[in-house]
Copies of this chain bind each other. A is one copy, B any other.
Amino acid sequence: MTIADRTPPDLARARPRARGDKTPLRLDAIVDEALRIIDTEGTDAVSMRKVAAAFDTGPASLYAHVDNKDDLLRLALRKVLDTMPLPAGETWQAMFRAHAHTIRAVLAAHNDLARLTFGTVPESDQVTEGSERLLAAMIGGGVPPQVAAWSLDVISLYIAADVHEGWLMGRIFDDGSGRPPEEVGMEYFRGFGERMASLPKDRFPTLTGHLEELMGGDGDQRFSFGIDMFIAGMAAQIPPT
């Protein structure tokens, strides 16, 4: 996900047409349905047939409104990005940190939607506005412009990856067995911890000697850690006054 592009002004592309006693199809309703499926079942569960079924029609009807499935997913992503709060904070560090957490929360609220940001330029005025504010704060705070500029891309990539991986890990815990996710999760990590503990101590003395550090921390803590390391690294690039 790199620097935002402008949001095109008009989301409608096809005019709704009567459908007997059914509600005419509208692009925004189609996008909403795609997003609803993402929110309940994840991005892979979105199929043109499933979206169309929600409108009691077949997949072919959607192609008057979207180019293809990727187009539909792109529009779903855009809808979410347009809800992104703007960055705020007293210092560039506080702003950067808070905004990173905000982006993560917004994306994470939509299962693995975040993966749609990989390799794309988000089409959202809101995100562009956020980038402007963040960039201004960093540069105003003394961060070299090149560092500040590249940080926008790098941190966006990191956030999207973190959300995506968090979602995947969550699916491991929701294994469909009907058992509570907490139970599945504890079992998973117990098994993993046992495998780590069973590493040969003579071959892997550092790993086995720091199991607590390696195994400790939840996803939020690890994410915060990564963001804080990055911020500290950027701060170290500020020339002395």
B-contacting residues of A (Cβ < 8 Å)?
A: 3, 5-6, 118-121, 128-129, 131-132, 135-136, 139, 145-154, 157-158, 160-162, 164-165, 167-169, 171-172, 192, 195-196, 198-199, 203-207, 210, 213-214, 216-217, 222, 225-226, 228-237
Contacts and interface: CB of A to CB of B under 8 A. Distances in A.
Contacts of A231: 233
Q: How many copies does the complex hold?
A: 2
B121 A161 contact: no
Nearest to A214: B149
B217 A150 contact: yes
27 contacts: A3-B196, A6-B195, A118-B161, A118-B168, A119-B167, A119-B169, A119-B172, A129-B203, A129-B204, A131-B207, A139-B206, A145-B210, A146-B216, A146-B217, A149-B216, A150-B213, A150-B225, A151-B229, A154-B225, A157-B161, A157-B226, A160-B161, A229-B233, A232-B232, A232-B233, A232-B234, A232-B237
Nearest to A236: B232
Contacts of A229: 147, 151, 154, 229-230, 233-234, 237
Contacts of A146: 213, 216-217
Contacts of A232: 232-234, 236-237
The 8 closest A-B pairs by CB, nearest first: A119-B168, A229-B233, A161-B161, A233-B233, A232-B233, A149-B213, A154-B226, A136-B206
